[in-house]
Amino acid sequence: MTIAFAGNPNCGKTTLFNAYTGASLKVANWPGVTVEKKEGTCTYKGERHTLVDLPGTYSLSSYTMEEKLTRQFLLSGGADVIIDVADASCLTRNLYLTMQLTELGIPVVLALNMMDILKKRGAKLDVRRLSEKLGIPVVPLSARRREGLDILLDTALEAAKSKTTPTAPQFAQMEAQEQFAWIEATVAACLTDNRPRAFTDRIDNALLHPFWGLLIFFAIMAVVFLLTFTLGDLAKIPLEAALDQLYSAVGRGLDAIHTAPWLSSLITDGILAGVGGILTFLPNIVLLFFALAFLEDSGYMARVAYIMDGIMGSLGMSGRAFIPMLLGFGCTVPAIMASRALESRRDRLRVMLVTPFMSCSARLPVYILIAGAFFGKFAPLAAFSMYVIGLLTAILIARCTKSLHKKEKQPPLLLELPDYKAPAMRTVVLYVWEKVRDYLTRAGTTIFLASIVLWVLLNFGPGGFVTSMEDSFAAWIGRGAAFLLTPCGLGMWQIAVALIAGIAAKEVVVSSLAVLFGIENISSVAGSTALRASLAAYGFGAANAYALMVFVLLYIPCAAALATIRSESKSWLWTAGAAVMQIGVAWILSAVAYRIGCLFI
């Protein structure tokens, strides 16, 4: 049997789908997370069933991409039965889609999700009566608490086998106003006490306040980043100690089996220094994503669109465009993909242009390393200033591009704000794990490869294996690029090599520095002291360090981000333009930062 899950955005469809299939699709408490249909399987009572998670839609007409996809799939006979997931705490609006689904000639079962929230509110729903009125089976459940899941599956399979098509009133022939009148009358007959959600309203009074709301938002973000640094650094200490043990153990082991010097150098100076250096930043990454997941699942993220609508409006963008930009603090790639949810192409392109300036988590290791080495107790401040500079640059670029396509009017904001809820641990853990897995995968693949390539470039020159890095291919390439970076205070071949390698992924800048200066465990206190000493030998001081951080913040985020810009904009020209602009902006602003830095330091 093929079971399709349809429903409004943010009604818990994906949570339900994950509960059945054991899949770990991303769930978020803001609408529009599922943009493509996803398939999974589940075995129930000895039978295998295919489950299809359709994107959230409010109706079955064909205005948006999600609606078209859902409609086409259902009309082509892809499903034996539709499970229509509805948010019981907002029944009236959800039933509009239900009524349209009942007219397709496919069995429909209504899954009333979030019954726990309804019960908590003290409301009572007459499920049997609702089922009679709608002419379809209705099953109450809570996907989050995993209640009522078996009953729903039993009912759906029963309906699919007996091919009971719905016996609803002729909905399509009514006017929009009539349709809603019918739905409201139905809900009124079945639901007693639909009290307004006082809890959410009370919190909104503070969080959506025109002045305090903006202040609270910035305070929340500041706390998030402070926690990321302080707690993350605490958790890093045992991790570093463990890695130190590993390094010396591997070193001893390689000596014991008389490994060739070049191979032992590749393993310890290349791979271990590169990949190991990245792993120590895991606590910071986990904390950052834990905080972002918490904000998303609580329902706050959607509010940010409203809070920022005024500021975004003055930049000629809808407040909704702020969500992709905010996600950019996590990772640029999904952030650029989230721009798909915006209606106008112009908005999408501009979001793609500015989102890479939002400082993603891959840049964090660079700040922690460089700021830690050069700014002592002001390190968190120096790192936090990167986030501010990134945001200001994004705003500046948005302002500059505002006049493009002046005639096309910006579409006004229209976004559902979900109820606040205590974030579900399962969802948060799943979200964090997904990111951590990405990070580890990158450490194991891209960064692993980049470390090896870099080691080869550093240890071989035109004349074969070199004893001094100064004669290597990398030095040769780096010196070619270094003079371009001199105005930014970054005119060292090692820095140029690290920056070029960083296009593969920003963390590679850290691992490259580790390899280039031969520092093991670069994120430890000893490592950062060694780095500062190595750099100081070239006259590289605090002003240069700050310029380096600015450059890393602003230049091409990573190869994957560029590929995403290409696939989302479907334009090579736009992608190339974006890359050139990123390098240009990075060059100009890091030069400015260096000059200003020289005045003070």
CB count in 10 Å sphere of residue 263: 11
CB of 59 to another protein, least distance (A): 4
As measured in angstroms, the least distance from the Cβ of 194 to another protein is 6
CB of 12 to another protein, least distance (A): 14
Instruction: Find the shortest distance in angstroms from Cβ 520 to another protein.
Output: 51
Q: Which is nearer to another protein, 265 or 344 (CB)?
A: 344
Sign of the CA dihedral running 575, 577, 578, 584: positive
- Which member of 285, 335, 353, 415 binds another protein (CB under 8 A)? 415
Give the nearest distance from C-beta 557 to another protein in angstroms.
29
**Subset of residues 280 to 309 that bind another protein, contact rule: CB under 8 A:** 302-303, 305-306, 309
* Shortest Cβ 88–another protein spacing (Å): 11
What token pair was written down for 376? 């002592």
**Residues within window 181-200 making contact with another protein, judged by CB under 8 A:** 181, 183-184, 194, 196, 200
Helix (H, G, I), strand (E, B) or coil at 481: helix
Among 14, 280, 410, 564, binds another protein (CB under 8 A): 410
Torsions phi, psi of 489, nearest 5? 75, 20
Tokens of 455: 């080691």
- Cα 417 from Cα 407, distance rounded (Å): 30
Q: Which two tokens stand for residue 226?
A: 């402070």
Question: Nearest Cα to 518, choosing from 508, 500, 530?
Answer: 530
Residue 204 binds another protein, judged by CB under 8 A: yes
Rank residues 293 and 415 by Cβ distance to another protein and give the closer one.
Answer: 415
Site string for another protein, 77-116 (x = CB under 8 A): ------------xxxxx--x--------------------
The single residue among 319, 324, 502, 597 that binds another protein, judged by CB under 8 A, is 319
Residue given tokens 């890695």 in the structure block? 243
Exposed, middle or buried: residue 233 (CB in 10 Å: 0-12, 13-18, 19+)?
middle
- Which residues lie below 8 Å from residue 239, measured CB to CB, with a gap of 6+? 279, 280, 282, 283
**In the bound complex, what is the minimum distance in angstroms from residue 197's beta carbon to another protein?**
8
Residues 6 or more apart from 115 whose CB is under 8 A from it? 88, 125, 140, 141, 142, 147, 148
Residue 208: CB minimum distance to another protein, A: 5
Q: 493 near 473, Cβ under 8 Å?
A: no
Which of 313, 334, 518, 541 binds another protein (CB under 8 A)? It is: 313
In the bound state with another protein, the residue whose beta carbon lies nearer, of 9 and 557, is 9
What is the spatial distance between Cα 339 and Cα 443, in angstroms, rounded to a whole number?
A: 27
Residues that bind another protein (CB under 8 A): 58-59, 61, 63, 89-93, 96, 176-177, 180-181, 183-184, 194, 196, 200-201, 204-205, 208-210, 302-303, 305-306, 309-310, 313, 318-319, 343, 409-419
